C-alpha cells in the first residue's frame, strides 16, 4: 500500500451525502391542485426557480416549475455512521415523477467513507424508506394525478459533496494520487478496483475553477463545491429523467407486444369475435399521442441553453446514464407504433370493405330470390 493511500484512508473527511430516489406516480399531475391538497397537511408548498449563482444565466430554468415540499427531518441508520438526522425534501414535477432527497452529514476517516459507500450499494433500502414515508402523500395527491399508479420502477443516485480545500487543497493531487479512493466512492465499492476500472470510473469529470470538481459515474458522483445547489438539482433531474425514460420504454414495449397480436389474426371474422379494430386503432393513436407528449415534456422541462457549466454537467450525466440510448429506444418504439397504427387502420378499413361487399352480395341474392319467387 502506498503512502498516499494510507494518508487518504486515515484522513478525516467531512461533507454531505445527498441521496436521491426517483419514483413515478402516474401519467400527469395538476401542480396547482397538488399544492392545495398538500398545503393543508405540510403547511407550505413552493414552486421556486432553479437556484442560481452569478454564472448561471436566466435562460436556464424549469418550465413549468415543480412543487417543492420540505418534509420532517428523519433519522437514518447506517452501520458506519450510526444514527444520523437527515433533511428530507420532495420535488414533484408535472409529469407525475418525483424525487425524494435526503441530506446526510458525515465526518469519517477516508476508509470508513468507502465502507459507507459500499453500504449504500445494497439495493432497495432507500426506495423502501421512500415508499413508507410517501405512501400517505400519494393517497392524498391521487385526485390531482391523472391515472395514478405507483410504478415499481425506481432510480437511486448518491452524491458525496465536500467543501473546496478540505481535505483536498489540490484537485490534481486527488485525481492523480488518490484516484483508487475516489473510484471507491463512485462505484460504491470498498474493495480494491483494477486500474482499468479506476480509470473508467473517473473519466467523466468537469471543473469550473481550480478548486471545484465534479466526477460522475453510474451509481454516484463526487462533488467538491460549496455553492452548488443548481448543480445538485441538475443531477437530481437527470436521475428523474432516467426513471421516466425507463418507464416509457417499458410501457411502449408492453403495448407493442399486445398490438402485434392484431396483425397475426387470420380472418376478418375472428377479429369480430374479439376487440373491435376501430377501437384498437383509437387506442393506438391515443397511446402514440400520450407517449410522444410525455416524452417531449420530460425532455423539455429543464431548459439548458448554450455551452455553459450546467449544460456540460447535464451532458456529462446524460452520457453516464445512457440517456441518448434510452431516448433512441423510445423514438424507435414510437416509430413502430406509428407503423402498427397504420397496419391496424388498414386492416380495419379492409374489414369494413369486406363486410360491405358481403352485405351487398347478400342484398343482391335476396333481391334475386324475391324476383324468382314472385
The confidence score (pLDDT) of residue 56 equals 55
The full length of the chain comes to: 374
% of the chain surpassing 90 pLDDT = 25
User: What confidence tier does 229 reach under pLDDT thresholds 50, 70, 90?
Assistant: confident
The confidence score (pLDDT) of residue 236 equals 92
Residues 6+ apart with CB under 8 A from 151: 23, 24, 25, 247
Global pTM value: 0.81
Biggest alpha carbon–alpha carbon distance for the chain:
113
User: What confidence tier does 1 reach under pLDDT thresholds 50, 70, 90?
Assistant: very low
- State the cell numbers at 120: 449504500
The confidence score (pLDDT) of residue 324 equals 85
Rounded average pLDDT over 7-23: 86
The confidence score (pLDDT) of residue 274 equals 45
User: pLDDT at residue 61 above 80?
Assistant: no
User: What confidence tier does 43 reach under pLDDT thresholds 50, 70, 90?
Assistant: very low
Nearest to 358 by CA among 265, 264, 267: 267
Maximum average pLDDT range among 115-119, 162-166, 286-290, 311-315: 115-119
Task: Describe the strand order of the beta sheet including 154-162 as a list of residue ranges.
Answer: 67-78, 82-92, 97-109, 12-24, 154-162, 220-224, 213-216, 205-206
Residues 159-206: pLDDT tens digits?
A: 999 988 877 778 888 888 889 999 999 999 988 889 999 999 999 999
The confidence score (pLDDT) of residue 49 equals 52
Rounded average pLDDT over 132-161: 90
Give 75 or 350, the one with higher predicted confidence: 75
User: What confidence tier does 32 reach under pLDDT thresholds 50, 70, 90?
Assistant: confident
The confidence score (pLDDT) of residue 298 equals 64
Of 100-104, 134-138, 154-158, 298-302, the one with minimum mean pLDDT is 298-302
Domain ranges of the chain: 3-234, 238-373
Enumerate the H helices of 193-322 as residue ranges: 195-201, 229-264, 268-273, 277-300, 309-321
DSSP letters spanning 272-300: HHSS-HHHHHHHHHHHHHHHHHHHHHHHH
The confidence score (pLDDT) of residue 165 equals 81
Amino acid at each position: 500500500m502506498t503512502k498516499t493511500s494510507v494518508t487518504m484512508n486515515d484522513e478525516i473527511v467531512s461533507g454531505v451525502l445527498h441521496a436521491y430516489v426517483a419514483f413515478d406516480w402516474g401519467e400527469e399531475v395538476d401542480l396547482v391542485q397538488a399544492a392545495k391538497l398538500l398545503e393543508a397537511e405540510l403547511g407550505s408548498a413552493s414552486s421556486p426557480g432553479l437556484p442560481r449563482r452569478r454564472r448561471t444565466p436566466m435562460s436556464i430554468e424549469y418550465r413549468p416549475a415543480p412543487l417543492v415540499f420540505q418534509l420532517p427531518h428523519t433519522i437514518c441508520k447506517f452501520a458506519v455512521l450510526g444514527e444520523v438526522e437527515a433533511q428530507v425534501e420532495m420535488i414533484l414535477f408535472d409529469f407525475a415523477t418525483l424525487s425524494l432527497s435526503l441530506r446526510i452529514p458525515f465526518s469519517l476517516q477516508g476508509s470508513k467513507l468507502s465502507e459507507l459507500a459500499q453500504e449504500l450499494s445494497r439495493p432497495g433500502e432507500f426506495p423502501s424508506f421512500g415508499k413508507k414515508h410517501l405512501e400517505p402523500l400519494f393517497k392524498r395527491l391521487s385526485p390531482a394525478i391523472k391515472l395514478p399508479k405507483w410504478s415499481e420502477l425506481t432510480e437511486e443516485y448518491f452524491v458525496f459533496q465536500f467543501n473546496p480545500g478540505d481535505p483536498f487543497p489540490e484537485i490534481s493531487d486527488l485525481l492523480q494520487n488518490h484516484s483508487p479512493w475516489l473510484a471507491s466512492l463512485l462505484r460504491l465499492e470498498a474493495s480494491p478496483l483494477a486500474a482499468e476500472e479506476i480509470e473508467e470510473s473517473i473519466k467523466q469529470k468537469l471543473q469550473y475553477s481550480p478548486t471545484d470538481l465534479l466526477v460522475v459515474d453510474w451509481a454516484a458522483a463526487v462533488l467538491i463545491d460549496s455553492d452548488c445547489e443548481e448543480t445538485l438539482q441538475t443531477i437530481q433531474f437527470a436521475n428523474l429523467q432516467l426513471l421516466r425514460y425507463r418507464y416509457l420504454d417499458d410501457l411502449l414495449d408492453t403495448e407493442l407486444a399486445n398490438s402485434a397480436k392484431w396483425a397475426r389474426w387470420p380472418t376478418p371474422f375472428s377479429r369480430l369475435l374479439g376487440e373491435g379494430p376501430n377501437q384498437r386503432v383509437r387506442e393506438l393513436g391515443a397511446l402514440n399521442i400520450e407517449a410522444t407528449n410525455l416524452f417531449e415534456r420530460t425532455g423539455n422541462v429543464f431548459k439548458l441553453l448554450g455551452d455553459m457549466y450546467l449544460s456540460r454537467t447535464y451532458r456529462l450525466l446524460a452520457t453516464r446514464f445512457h440517456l441518448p440510448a434510452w431516448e433512441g429506444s423510445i423514438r424507435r418504439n414510437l416509430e413502430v407504433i406509428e407503423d402498427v397504427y397504420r397496419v391496424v387502420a388498414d386492416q380495419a378499413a379492409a374489414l369494413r370493405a369486406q363486410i360491405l361487399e358481403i352485405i351487398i352480395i347478400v342484398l343482391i341474392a335476396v333481391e334475386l330470390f324475391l324476383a324468382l319467387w314472385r
